[in-house]
Amino acid sequence: MRSKIFQKFNVLILLSLMTGTYGQTPATLFPVKRTESAETWRRGGWQAVDRAKAQKIRKGKAKNVILFIGDGMGVSTLTAARIFEGQTRGESGEENRLSFEEFPFSALSKTYGTNQQTSDSAPTMSAIISGVKTDEGVISVNQNVQHANYKTVSGNETKTLLEYAEEAGKSTGVVTTARLTHATPAACYSHSPDRDWESDNDVFTRRMDAYEAKFPDIARQMLEIPYGDGLEVAMGGGRTKFLPKNIQDPEYSTRSGERLDERDLTREWQSKYKNSAFVWNKKQFDAIDAKKTTHLLGLFEPSHMQYEHDRAKDTAGEPSLSDMTSKAIDVLSNNKKGYFLMVEGGRIDHAHHDGNAFRALTDTVALSDAVRATVKKVNLDETLIIVTADHSHTFFIQGYPARGNNILGFVREIDNDGMVEEMPKGDRDKKPFTTLGYANGLGARGAERPALTEEMVLDPNYKQEANIPMSAETHGGEDVAIFATGVNAYLIRGSMEENWIFYVMADAMRLGRK
């Protein structure tokens, strides 16, 4: 049996490699002091049953609908992020729950598209926001549209919940940590045969016939929504898509816009709407008086916003996802008819593509924080909140690590004496491996695995090992989770087609049924 002195020494060494603060690497916590007993597990189980029986079922019409999308937030991401968040607080982590895991209703969502088993954000978000599944690479159009063929779009657009809400006189908003013209936010307000036509320069580069025909790019469509008075709130990244080529970026002297039509869409936003505002840094954002602002545009980066872990180091400062969500709700709440708001944690997906679990998990926790802040602000008797993902990733949790083992670290198992092993579990060559990894991606190391150290794998920039070498990790095709609370949330249940989410939201707002 291992000595208690060695165990303490082992933990102290590991602790010295970690920071133990939120947004950074959590402390290694084993061996865990277990306080549960058979009685506490029984008591907790009966309490869960009693809570479920007492759960209030809210039925009727929802004044507001708020949709949260964790882009690429598969079930393995939820599990790892739950543990990660708990460990940053000094807990073992497994018993933790993300804010939306406390929601009373949940389901599984089938994310396939009309022409692919494993989809990307364009068809999946189009299904969620318009109720119609579609082909890969297209935005809020049906499967009759040929990819990148602008001539096939007319008559095949699929009307979105945001457009229905605008038509009904409600306010609408889109908040994301990605570019505002990226697939998930774009699906809310635009219709395009190619998700990559974010600016007219993109159309010019990718499809000359569409450019010559002046087919509207996604950024332009955001300003030209034909329903209601257009978006009341739009916040995220992507300044280059809205600024002309001859305009220098306000934050970076080496960057400029990319639009070829010489239109400055940020100025057009301000001139189009009374009491409107455009902001691009944290100071301007903080100065916005939500009660006096009818239309708010925030573009905080030339491309995507910073990852949550890197946000504090941003040149001009960026609001958090929670900050943007709260401000959006304050602006949208000026409309007594209610509102629809979509909030995306867009960079969860990007971190996974990069093979970097640390940033994927910190951005997942940031999304959970935004949901928690929202629940505190709104009245659930008149609001429906749904949290889901558009698709998953090839992200996995492996081995048999001890409870409380650092979710980012090496696998350490329990020995036959019930004690944590002194050394990490090894592969056939006795080399240690981490709990988290990817089926494919940038972390593939070739035929022979390298000799990894604890310091290497706990670095926030570490790319987890992958099985198949790829230039970027791919999406996964398994079901993702849906969580719901508020008005008509009870309709989220069982195994659902992804597009059914639209009908739950539309029914709650009494929109879209012919």
For the annotated catalytic residues, the residue numbers are 121
- Structure token digits, residue 389: 């993902």
**H or E element, residue 494:** strand 494-497
Residue 248 phi/psi, 5° resolution? -70, 140
Q: Can you list the pairs that 31-35 forms with residues at least 24 positions away whose Cβ atoms lie under 8 Å? A: 31/7, 31/402, 31/404, 31/419, 31/420, 32/92, 32/402, 32/403, 32/404, 34/403
Beta partners for residue 176, in sequence order: 344
Residue 40 phi/psi, 5° resolution? -65, -35
Write the DSSP string, 16-28: TT---STTSPPPP
3-state DSSP call for residue 269? helix
Residue 503 phi/psi, 5° resolution? -70, -30
- End-to-end, the C-alpha distance of the chain in Å comes to 71
3-state DSSP call for residue 403? coil
Instruction: Read off the DSSP letter of residue 490.
Output: G
Alpha-carbon distance 485 to 505, whole Å?
A: 12
3-state DSSP call for residue 105? strand
3-state DSSP call for residue 171? strand
Alpha-carbon distance 85 to 120, whole Å?
A: 27
- Residue 31: is the preceding peptide bond cis (ω within 30°)? yes
Alpha-carbon distance 250 to 257, whole Å?
A: 10
| 470 and 442 Cβ atoms separated by less than 8 Å | yes
R_g of the chain, CA atoms, integer Å:
24
Q: How many Cβ atoms sit within 10 Å of the Cβ of residue 326?
A: 18
Residue 466 phi/psi, 5° resolution? -130, 155
Alpha-carbon distance 341 to 50, whole Å?
A: 33
Q: Among residues 372, 309, 344, which one has the least CA distance to residue 103?
A: 372
Q: How far is CA 232 from CA 65, 219, 334, 476, in A?
A: 15, 15, 10, 34
